[in-house]
Amino acid sequence: MNRMKRSWILSAALSASLLIAPALAGAQDDLVAMSEDPNQWVIPLGNYHGTRHSTLDQINSDNVDRLRVSWTMSTGALRGHEGQPLIIGDMMYFQSAYPNHVYAVDLNDIGRIAWQFTPEQNTFAPSVACCDLVNRGVAYGDGMILVAALDTTLYALDAETGAIVWTAQNGDPNLGQTMTMAPLVVGDKVIAGISGGEFGVRGYVTGFDLRTGTQLWRAHSVGPDEEILFDPETTIDAATQQPVGENSSLRTWENEEWQLGGGTTWGWYTYDPELNLFYYGSGNPGTWNPSQRPGDNKWSTTIFARNPDTGMAAWAYQMTPHDMWDYDGINEMVLTETEVDGETLPTLTHFDRNGFAYLMDRRDGRLLRAHTFDPSVNWATGINMETGRPEVVPEKETEADRNVTNICPAAQGAKNQQPASYDPETRLFYLGTNHICMDYQAFSVRYRAGFPYVGAIVSMYPANNGDIRGRVIAFDPVTGETQWENNETFQAYSGPLSTSGNLVIYGTLDGWLKAADKQTGEVLYEFRMPSGVIANPITYMHDGTQYIAVLSGVGGWAALGLAEGLTQGTEGLGAVGLTRSLGDYTNLGGTLVVFELGN
């Protein structure tokens, strides 16, 4: 803990020249207060802690069977919609898949679009978007809507008019870089990540000035200390609880492969205002062929805790050293208070692609628990609580020119980017998961800017060769127990919403919106959506009426075959064969659907 205190002191000293102006500090306080108002939904994951839980209960388990469609709206885009609307006062804001239409809808005048914005983009960007042309939504801060466009342009729009306040460039599609994540606003900073791990992109997060769009700092995932913003003496390796030491990343790569090292940052970000740390994960190392990059390949597949004012890392924890399976670590970090061994601690819970649920002390990254959350996991027998490293099964290790079969989970993970919900009333997490396995054959590949840099042929299929590819579960990260599960034919790629109305609400890949009893999992209501759902339902209150809103629009890696018109099983990075029959149940097309109670 003393090391962490020194780290906080260092971070404070480094940020002395970047003190938050009073007005913008107030803007951060406003976001915290606004997120505590259940009538609104002002941060992509619902609040800074990412819990995706609402205390609204007008719609509840006793009356949800009366749910009906209130209104709908086409998004004007065909590809995968992985985001959610924001509700700011009387306005709704949401963003479509590419070409990234942004809409403002006046909730007092449904049917009229208050304003619309479609960015002019680099037309090369769609060709280097590995896993569909998805987007995970807009952010809000200081009277502006923050928009991440696929071509890596970040826009700040006036929330009232849609006029461009400023733009900033976060990358270059010609290098394989794209941007699909939802920005995070913290004080006077806007934080944005980068996509492109399958194109040899070296991942990073960037802090921009909220007023001007000026780049203030950039923290890479891999590389020299000065570029990953590590202090060798005070940044903690959370697995060992020791300082990382000098050039902790460079020591774990050979042949300068770190320069094409992956570790992209396209997932969800959360923030602790009291610790002044934000949390996110980095993706797989490049290439998928582990034989080309001996070593642990730090800090790919890593949870980072960073100071938002400076970008400096307080601690880092690598979940899958020398990743041989494409187990990105970008899934959300949910921040809660958890009783562990009789002590209530500020914790972080992360459901990783590799199939393990990590419960950590978010102050220093100390590992408290690590349990599998899908029964098919077989690539490792567990996580060593002393070293923090997975206990890998040798037969499941991949290497060049060898086809390794029946690895579980598959590269899409036991859970992909679909965010979980945490309910403080039940103290359970509700999450959509994948129940899938794969065959994996690595091969050598050469880098060329703007071209795929993968190096593996992957074939995915349901676990146990069954008919179940997805599960929606209620999970306790302390005990590792699954309280209930609902099986789905296809991967459960929608982020559940829990409410104080005793409900868990989620969508399915084949096109259903479902509301389940959060105590038992019993499905109490279901509605056939215009398209498959890979987005995240939200709820809000307007003029005394509670609404549920969700984007339908199938796509993403889970449905890449349908989105791209692919037919060969190993196409789409192995995804096509897994959902070959999905087209029998749903089709492309983005629609916002809003529900309310009927009589």
User: Which segments within 416-544 are labelled E, that is strand?
Assistant: 421-423, 428-434, 436-442, 456-462, 470-476, 481-488, 497-499, 503-507, 512-517, 523-528, 538-542
Tell me, yes or no, if 326 is annotated catalytic: yes
Catalytic annotation, pick one of 142, 151, 237, 326? 326
Residue 516 pairs with which residues in a beta bridge?
504, 523
Q: Contact 440/515 with Cβ under 8 angstroms?
A: no
Least Cα distance to 475 among 445, 509, 498 occurs for 498
Taking CA atoms, 212 is separated from 147, 165, 171, 216, 307, in Å, by 14, 8, 18, 11, 20
Q: How many residues does the chain have?
A: 599
What distance in Å separates the CA atoms of residue 549 and residue 310, rounded to the nearest whole number? 36
Tell me the three state secondary structure of residue 472. Answer: strand
Q: Residue 195 — φ and ψ, nearest 5°?
A: -110, 165
Q: Integer distance in angstroms from the first to the last C-alpha of the chain?
A: 57
Cβ neighbours for 568, distance < 8 A, ≥ 6 positions apart: 576, 577
Enter the DSSP assignment of 406.
Answer: E
Strand order in the sheet with 242-243: 242-243, 236-237, 313-318, 302-306, 277-281, 270-272
Give Cα separations from 508 to 136, 188, 402 (angstroms). Answer: 17, 37, 35
Q: What residue has token string 């030491």? A: 245
What is each CA distance from 223 to 255, 256, 316, 396, in whole angstroms?
Answer: 13, 9, 14, 28
**8 Å CB contact between 100 and 121:** yes
Residues 412, 327: contact at Cβ < 8 Å?
no
Q: What residues form DSSP beta bridges with 367?
A: 360
The side-by-side arrangement of strands in the sheet containing 189-192 is 184-186, 189-192, 204-209, 215-220
Q: Which residues pair with 358 in a beta bridge?
A: 350, 370
- DSSP letters, 3-65, are HHHHHHHHHHHHTGGGPPPHHHHHHHHHHHHHHT-TT-B-STTSSTT---EE---SS-TTTGG
- Which residue reads 């994948």 in tokens? 434
Would you please indicate which residues are annotated as catalytic (active-site) residues? 326
